[in-house]
């Protein structure tokens, strides 16, 4: 019995030599944890990149906003001929090595996105082992660094606020898209090489908000689409979350009623020939009344009539959006990619002329609306005039 006890002790002791331990560990004070990146053209030299990196401040105690100030973050500016060079210079100012695995968002100014290929600026973040492909990306109107300088409303850092703004706007209003490095890379490396990213703006008070999408062809920004057009685009892509449809009153165009769209499903059927392509699109919506101001739908036949009004409003927006992107000759709905998946040989025949072919595609769009809830016990305006 005594011998068995010693054997067990020896086995347990010897097993410790098989453990890996922490031979390659690095202490936390070595690192500064990156929250956001802003990329701009240098004001001194247009051939140089200006990099603004936002770091979170470690709090000295529970409940404090951050070390040494009222903000939980600090911004460091560096410059370089390449993104990597500017990144390596961060240590010269911060005294810590940048750690990228917790990065929330990367912002690129519209000036930079229009003049240089965004793949050139994002190359480091795709290749390095620390940044995650789920980092959000966006384009800013004006200097990107200005969007990291404000004071967040609820979140601890501006980077987290900007990330949540894009996420919530996509999910609850469908007025932008949430795009990360992974989805952007897929768009840029598709057969079409067209892509889109959230477009951020600032109010007169300097408060950032998201407004539609910035559009790209072969890595360079070509323009923007409005929040309303973004709603139509998301329906066409079958990526619509939820949102509001406004219906003008017949006798007063300035007065609008609203319907909340809870779900949207889209089916697309494409018939492609060498110089002629036709597309049938069926959009099925389901939702509830948000506001009634000039319409009564207290009978089933009136509900059907109101469904038709909503369908017309949505149809007009979808058709106008399609017309706009056809005029711009930029296939944002991925029609060319769909043709490639179905018939690669056919796609290779029309690929070079696709922008011109896309501008002449015949779209047949049908919208079906189903109002399932009036939002109250009565299907008419709540207040009497």
Angle at 301 between CA 295 and CA 290, to 5 degrees: 40
Of the pLDDT bands very low, low, confident and very high (cuts 50, 70, 90), residue 64 is very low
Strands (E), 242-333: 243-248, 256-272, 277-291
Mean pLDDT across the stretch 5-27? 60
Read off the pLDDT of residues 147-181 as tens digits, 9 standing for 90 and up.
999 889 988 899 999 999 999 999 999 999 999 99
334: left (phi over 0), alpha (psi -120 to 50) or beta: left
Mean pLDDT across the stretch 206-217? 94
Q: Tell me the whole-structure pTM to 2 decimals.
A: 0.86
Dihedral (CA of 325, 329, 330, 332) sign: positive
Give the bridge partners for 268, in sequence order: 281
Q: Which burial class, exposed, middle or buried, applies to 110 when counting CB atoms under 10 A from its CB (0-12, 13-18, 19+)?
A: buried
Read off the pLDDT of residues 85-143 as tens digits, 9 standing for 90 and up.
999 999 999 888 899 999 999 999 999 999 999 998 999 999 999 999 999 999 999 99
Read off the pLDDT of residues 117-127 as tens digits, 9 standing for 90 and up.
999 899 999 99
Mean pLDDT across the stretch 320-348? 94
pLDDT for res 182: 96
Phi and psi at residue 76, to the nearest 5°: -115, 130
Give the bridge partners for 246, in sequence order: 258
In percent, how much of the chain has pLDDT > 70?
A: 86
Read off the pLDDT of residues 246-299 as tens digits, 9 standing for 90 and up.
999 988 768 999 999 999 999 999 887 766 889 999 999 999 999 988 888 878
Give the bridge partners for 289, in sequence order: 259
CB-CB neighbours of 119 under 10 Å: 17
Q: How many CA atoms lie within 13 A of 76 on its CB side?
A: 22
pLDDT for res 65: 47
Instruction: Give the C-alpha separation, 1 to 24, whole Å.
Output: 41
Instruction: Give the C-alpha separation, 124 to 101, whole Å.
Output: 13
Is pLDDT above 80 for 200? yes
Instruction: Give the C-alpha separation, 14 to 143, whole Å.
Output: 60
Cβ neighbours of residue 51 under 8 Å, at least 6 residues apart? Answer: 37, 38, 39, 77, 78, 79, 80, 83, 86, 87, 90
Instruction: Give the C-alpha separation, 84 to 257, whole Å.
Output: 52
**Among 292, 302, 234, residue whose Cα is nearest residue 259:** 292
Is pLDDT above 80 for 39? yes
């Amino acid at each position: 019995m005594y011998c068995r006890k010693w054997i067990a002790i020896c086995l347990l002791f010897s097993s410790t030599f098989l453990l890996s331990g922490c031979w390659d560990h690095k202490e936390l004070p070595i690192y500064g944890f990156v929250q956001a990146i802003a990329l701009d053209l240098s004001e001194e030299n247009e051939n140089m990149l200006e990099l603004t990196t936002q770091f979170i401040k470690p709090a000295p105690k529970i409940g404090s906003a951050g070390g040494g100030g009222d903000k939980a973050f600090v911004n460091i500016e560096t410059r370089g001929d390449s993104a990597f060079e500017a990144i390596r210079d961060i240590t010269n100012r911060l005294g810590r090595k940048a750690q990228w695995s917790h990065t929330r968002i990367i912002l690129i100014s519209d000036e930079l996105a229009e003049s240089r290929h965004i793949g050139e600026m994002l190359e480091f973040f795709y290749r390095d082992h620390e940044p995650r492909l789920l980092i959000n990306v966006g384009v800013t109107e004006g200097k990107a660094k200005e969007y990291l300088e404000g004071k967040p409303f609820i979140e601890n850092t501006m980077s987290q606020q900007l990330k949540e703004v894009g996420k919530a706007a996509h999910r609850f209003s469908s007025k932008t898209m949430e795009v990360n490095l992974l989805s952007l890379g897929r768009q840029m490396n598709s057969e079409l090489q067209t892509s889109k990213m959230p477009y951020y703006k600032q109010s007169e008070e300097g408060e950032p908000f998201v407004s539609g999408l910035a559009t790209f062809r072969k890595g360079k920004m070509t323009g923007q689409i409005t929040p309303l057009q973004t709603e139509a685009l998301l329906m066409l892509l079958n990526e619509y979350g939820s949102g509001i449809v406004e219906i003008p009153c017949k006798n007063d165009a300035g007065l609008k009623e609203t319907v909340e769209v809870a779900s949207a499903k889209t089916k697309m059927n494409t018939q492609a020939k060498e110089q002629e392509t036709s597309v049938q699109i069926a959009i099925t919506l389901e939702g509830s009344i948000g506001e009634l101001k000039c319409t009564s739908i207290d009978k089933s036949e009136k509900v059907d009539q109101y469904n038709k009004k909503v369908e017309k409003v949505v149809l007009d927006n979808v058709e106008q959006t399609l017309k706009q992107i056809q005029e711009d000759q930029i296939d944002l709905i991925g029609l060319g990619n769909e043709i490639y998946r179905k018939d690669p040989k056919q796609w290779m025949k029309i690929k070079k002329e696709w922008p011109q072919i896309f501008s002449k595609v015949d779209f047949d769009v049908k919208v079906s609306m189903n109002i399932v809830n009036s939002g109250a016990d009565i299907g008419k305006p709540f207040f009497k005039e």
